[in-house]
Structure 1
Amino acid sequence: MSSQELFVAAAHKYLSAGRKSLSGPQSLDLAAQVLAVDLGLKPALLYDSNGASADQVQQYLSSLQSSRLVSKSLLTLDLNGNALIVNPAIVRSNVEQLLHDNGVLVIDVGHSLEKPTTTDPLRGELKSTMHDLLLLLKGLEQLKEAEKPHYVGEKSEEWNLCTVFGLLLGYPATYWFDQTQSFENCLSMTPLVVTTASATWQADATVHTFRLYSFSVPAVLLEEIQSNLEDWRLRLHERFQQQNVLKDLTVCQSTVTLPSVCL
């Protein structure tokens, strides 16, 4: 079987949820995302293609590793029922960057605010979350190839998952809100600048275009966040040039305004 056929077959075999299985294009899109994580182009991917469990995602990943399609450094993480495939070393580097030099901006979008604002990432509960996450990641790096997902303990129930996902997925800015007050946010009808990075993967005879990143920042904060966005873009280009599996990186921006934003 070709590498493309192996990726598609693994997705069909392990990732069906009820009667929902991934289509060929969906399977190739997932494969390209996993390759991007393996290559260090993104720290992790959040599996949301269908209702497959973290155990199923682990079986899929183990199949790819057994076929030598991806390295054995990748692990499956179950975070409050959310399945992620992570590159522990890359994620740890991102979190350390936040703790040491504010390389990732944290945007407070609490419901009581008139407009979004940047906030200190080392304030109380945020700092505690970052240190807990860092300890988790250091532990994951010590693991060899795993047969089961790594389930994050009860500590993660206190985490703001919106903020943690932003860090795990490698965004240059991540949203935060005080979830003890409300899970709503102040982004309704707020212009958002959406940054999208796309690339192509030639899987055998097929050239597959896929979305590598997509995240938003409030337009009102764009000037304040611009240097972080530019640094993120430059690092992505540098990492992209160090590999030859994925091609044709493009990064573009668009502005959207939505009546409600779910984080």
Structure 2
Amino acid sequence: MNAQELAVSAARQCLSTGRKSLSVPQSLDVATQLVAVDLALKPALLYDINSASAEQVYQFLRSCQSSRIVSEALVTLDLNDNSFIINLAAARSNLERVLDNASPVVIDVSSSLEKPAITECVRTGLKNIAQELLLLLRRFDTTKEVDQGIYVAEGSEVWNLSAVFGLLLGYPATYWFDQTESFENCLAMTPLTVTKAFATWPANAISQKYCLYSFSIPAVLQNETLSVVEKWKLGLHERFQQQNVLKDLTICHSAVTLSSVCL
């Protein structure tokens, strides 16, 4: 079997819930994103296709590593029952940029606001979280086999997961809201600009485009965030040109307005 077939087999075997296995398109989607993480095109993958456990995600990764689909540089991260597969080197580099105030833009979408706004007041808190995550990641040597996934210990339950996910996934902008006030947000009926990045994994005749990134920014803040988004796009293009596994990178923008937005 080729790499795609091996990855599909691993996904369907390891990530099933109950009697239901992932479909072939779903399996190819998660496999392509996994390859993108291995190539450092993105620092992490958040597994949210179904309710597979952190242990199942770990077994899927180990199966793909055993088949040499991806390298040993990837590990799993369990954050409040949310499962990530991360590239240790890329994730460290991304979190170090957070500590250097290089990224991301933090957008306050607290429900008390009339409209979203860029904020700096929570950056210290996010930098503290980034530092804690870095300390965890630095305990692992990428040249050695990792026998278990990384588990984020107690204390993380008070983190604003929307903001932390943006840090881990390498977005140029991340949402934050005051969860002591409410877990609601002010994005309902707010025009959003959605940015998506697609690529193909042409290991065989299948040349379907798969989504590597998807994030949104309120249209009212588009001009203020334009430079950081353009810098993010340039960095992605540069990383893409340094590999020859995934092809046909496409970055597109669309406008949406939703009656409710769940973060």
Q: TM-score, normalised by structure 2?
A: 0.95
2:72 match:
72
Is there any run of 5+ residues in structure 1 with no aligned partner, and where? none
- Answer whether contact 2:140 2:146 (CA < 8 A) is retained: no
Q: Do structure 1's residue 194 and structure 2's residue 174 form an aligned pair?
A: no
Provide closer, same or farther for how the CA distance between residues 232 and 133 of structure 1 changes in structure 2, counting only shifts above 3 A: same
Q: Which runs of 4+ in 1 moved over 6 A?
A: none
1:135 match:
135
Q: Deviations over 1:152-211 (max 9, x none)?
A: 100211211101101111100000111111111111111000001111111223223101
Number of paired residues? 263
Is there any run of 5+ residues in structure 2 with no aligned partner, and where? none
User: Counterpart of 1:220 in 2: which secondary structure?
Assistant: helix
User: What's the CA shift for 1:143?
Assistant: 7.9
- Answer whether contact 1:58 1:147 (CA < 8 A) is retained: no
User: What's the CA shift for 1:241?
Assistant: 0.4
Provide closer, same or farther for how the CA distance between residues 106 and 67 of structure 1 changes in structure 2, counting only shifts above 3 A: same
Q: How far apart, in 1, do the equivalents of 2:122 and 2:144 lie?
A: 32
1:217 match:
217
Q: How far apart, in 1, do the equivalents of 2:135 and 2:118 lie?
A: 25
1:52 match:
52
Q: How far apart, in 1, do the equivalents of 2:5 and 2:186 lie?
A: 45
- Answer whether contact 1:38 1:71 (CA < 8 A) is retained: yes
User: Counterpart of 2:189 in 1: which secondary structure?
Assistant: coil
Kindly, what percent of the aligned residue pairs are identical?
63
User: What's the CA shift for 1:144?
Assistant: 3.1
Letter of the structure 1 residue corresponding to residue 22 of structure 2: L
Q: TM-score, normalised by structure 1?
A: 0.95
User: What's the CA shift for 1:50?
Assistant: 1.2
Question: For 1:65-104, what aligned pairs fall within 5 Å after superposition?
Answer: 65-104=65-104
Provide closer, same or farther for how the CA distance between residues 142 and 200 of structure 1 changes in structure 2, counting only shifts above 3 A: closer
User: What's the CA shift for 1:123?
Assistant: 4.1
Q: Deviations over 1:55-93 (max 9, x none)?
A: 011111101111111000100111110111001211121
RMSD: 1.5
Letter of the structure 1 residue corresponding to residue 133 of structure 2: L
Q: Deviations over 1:69-123 (max 9, x none)?
A: 1000100111110111001211121122122133211111111111111111664
Q: How far apart, in 2, do the equivalents of 1:239 and 1:34 lie?
A: 16
User: Counterpart of 2:13 in 1: which secondary structure?
Assistant: helix
Letter of the structure 2 residue corresponding to residue 7 of structure 1: A
